[in-house]
Structure 1
Amino acid sequence: MAKTAQAPAKPYEPTPRENKALSAFELRRQNTIPTPVMKATKKGKDLRIAPDHEDKETGYKLIMEAIGTADPDFVQIALEQLTKLAIPGATAPCTPEALNASLALVRGIRPQDEVEAMLAIQMSAIHMATMTTAARLSVAKEVTWIELHEKALNKLARTFTTQIEALKRYRSKGEQKVTVEHVTVNEGGQAIVGTVTQGGGV
């Protein structure tokens, strides 16, 4: 007896709320620099990293734009630092997944110049150290180790908050605070002095 052909599965139709979120996602994706992933290859004792792109020059330029620089030497230093962050241990190899995760953290901050890029790399390092410390704390059994990891975790969390504030202050460096005083005189001759403040720069 011949088998009855099954009808193809009906494609999933997102709900109205899901469509709204998907539209927002698509807009976000379009506004994101198309950064290629990085690949790591080992030749002897040397670890070489490069964009996984058909044209290496284009790949490097996209990476440079993503981290806020036009300096080839700077991007090489930045990538070397990110590679070291991606190595989970002194003898463990750097995996492409870990390297691209480090780069994604920096890219997500959207640095606009080299100073912001350096701060973003530091923030990436602190974030990864925070997560590592949190994982160690979750499995610690002895009181000594629990207290040690708690102390380190608190310091790292405070450092990350300080870095966010530093980035915020640096990005507001071009803003000016303008204070304008205006005087209103009532019919009785009483003067009321008001202050209007514009801008949020430090």
Structure 2
Amino acid sequence: MTRKSKAPVSEYVPTEADKKLMAEWESRDRPRYPRLLIKQESDGSFASSVKHEEQAIGSLQMIRAMGLNSVSEYTMVVDQIVRMTYRAEGPKRMEREANEIIALIVAQKPKGIAEVMLCLQMAAVHVAVARAAGMLVNAELLPSHTAAADTLNKLTRTFTMQLDALKKHRTKGREQRVVVEHKHYNFVAAGAQAVFGDVQAGGGVPEISPPQSLGRQKGVPALTVVETVKAPVTAEIIAVASGGGEAA
């Protein structure tokens, strides 16, 4: 009995939309950096390097992508990442998790060692959140479920506070203070009569003392404009334009 041979799988041909998507993806302005490599030494310790033909160039690419300013800062951060991702399973899993953490740091576009350290802490908390969520989902006993839920709650709150701290750090020094002043302007139209009077506080329509005429011109239509004021107000300037008759 002969087996039927499987039909060859045809090669996928990208559509125009696929080509456009790939072109947009490649044209993104994103930092390019090599992958971090981790290997275990004969004494049991772990050493890190970068996947690049020239280690110095690869390290500088990592420094630029992570927003660091010196080789010593880069060495410290990478050493902390390696120790943070230590696993008994071996360097392969450590290497994968270390590169995931570096990707999370680079995605935040940090500037300076302070932001890098905060982003590293956020990445560590995020990894812990994922593990706590897995423990919560797989918990079968009530004590285990309660402990996992409590841990997950604390970690998520910590991550939120870290995110807020990063936002405040980045906006520090760039905050603008806007002071709004409310001013009242009283205008007297040309040919109008400016009258001074005292506005008395009280209910209803404000009482105005008899005005003192400063003169008016003939032919100006009668118009009275009273500004709304808040009690108590005294000696408020009220612009009054009145017509009929010549100035006394």
TM-score in terms of structure 2 length: 0.65
Q: Partner of 1:56 in structure 2? A: 55
1: CA distance, partners of 2:186 / 2:21: 54
2:13 to 11, 14, 17: 11
1:42 lines up with 2:40 in the alignment? yes
Name 2:138's counterpart in structure 1: 139
Say if 1:65 and 1:138 are closer, same or farther in 2 by CA, change over 3 A: same
Alpha-carbon separation, structure 1, partners of 2:12 and 2:81: 44
Q: Which amino acid aligns with 2:80?
A: Q
Runs of 4+ with >6 A deviation: none
Q: Which residue in the other structure is 1:26 paired with?
A: 26
**Deviation digits for residues 91-140 of structure 1, max 9, x if unmatched?**
33232222211211111111111000000110011000000111111110
Report if the CA contact (8 A) 1:87-1:98 is conserved: no
Deviations 1:4-42 (A, max 9, x none): xx9x75622043xx66654543333xx111110011122
Instruction: Provide closer, same or farther for how the CA distance between residues 9 and 126 of structure 1 changes in structure 2, counting only shifts above 3 A.
Output: closer
* Aligned partners of 2:68 and 2:112 also within 8 Å: yes
**Aligned residue number for residue 160 of structure 1:** 159
Correspondences of 1:61-76 after superposition (within 5 Å): 61-76=60-75
Q: 1:20 to 1:163 in 2, by over 3 A?
A: farther
SS of 2:47's equivalent? strand
Q: 1:12 to 1:103 in 2, by over 3 A?
A: same
CA distance in 2, matches of 1:190, 1:181: 21
Is the contact made by 1:67 and 1:117 (CA closer than 8 Å) also made in structure 2?
Answer: yes
Q: SS of the residue aligned with 2:52?
A: coil
State the AA in 1 paired with 2:185: V
If you compute each CA radius of gyration, which structure gives the higher value, 1 or 2? 2
What is the alpha-carbon distance in structure 1 between the residues aligned to residue 148 and residue 106 of structure 2?
29
Q: Identify unmatched segments of 5+ residues in structure 1.
A: 1-5, 193-202
User: 1:175 deviation in Å?
Assistant: 0.4
Say which structure is richer in helix: 1
Note the 1:122-201 alignment, pairs <5 A.
122-182=121-181, 183=183, 185=185, 190=227
Take 1:55 and 1:191, find their aligned partners in 2: how far apart are those partners? 78
C-alpha contact 1:130 1:157 (8 A) present in aligned 2: yes
Cα separation, partners in 2 of 1:19 and 1:174, compared to 1, 3 Å:
farther
Please give the alpha-carbon distance, in whole angstroms, between the structure 2 residues aligned to 1:178 and 1:184.
Answer: 23
Paired residues for 1:71-86 under 5 Å: 71-86=70-85
Contact 1:83 1:94 in 2 (8 A): no
Do the aligned residues in 2 keep the contact of 1:102 with 1:124 (CA within 8 Å)?
yes
Cα distance in 1 for partners of 2:133, 2:166 equals 24
Partner in structure 1 of residue 117 of structure 2: 118
- Count of aligned pairs: 180
- Separation in structure 1 between the aligned mates of residue 12 and residue 74 of structure 2, nearest angstrom: 47
The alpha-carbon deviation at position 186 of structure 1 amounts to 6.3
Tell which deviates more after alignment, 144-153 or 183-192.
Answer: 183-192
Identity %: 23
Q: Quote how far apart the aligned CAs of 1:191 are.
A: 9.1
Distance 1:145 1:98 in 2: 26
Using the size of structure 1 for normalisation, the TM-score is 0.79
**Cα distance between partner residues in 1 of 2:158 and 2:107:** 19
Distance change >3 Å, CA 73–CA 10, structure 1 → 2: closer
Provide the rounded CA distance (Å) in 1 between the counterparts of 2:140 and 2:50: 42
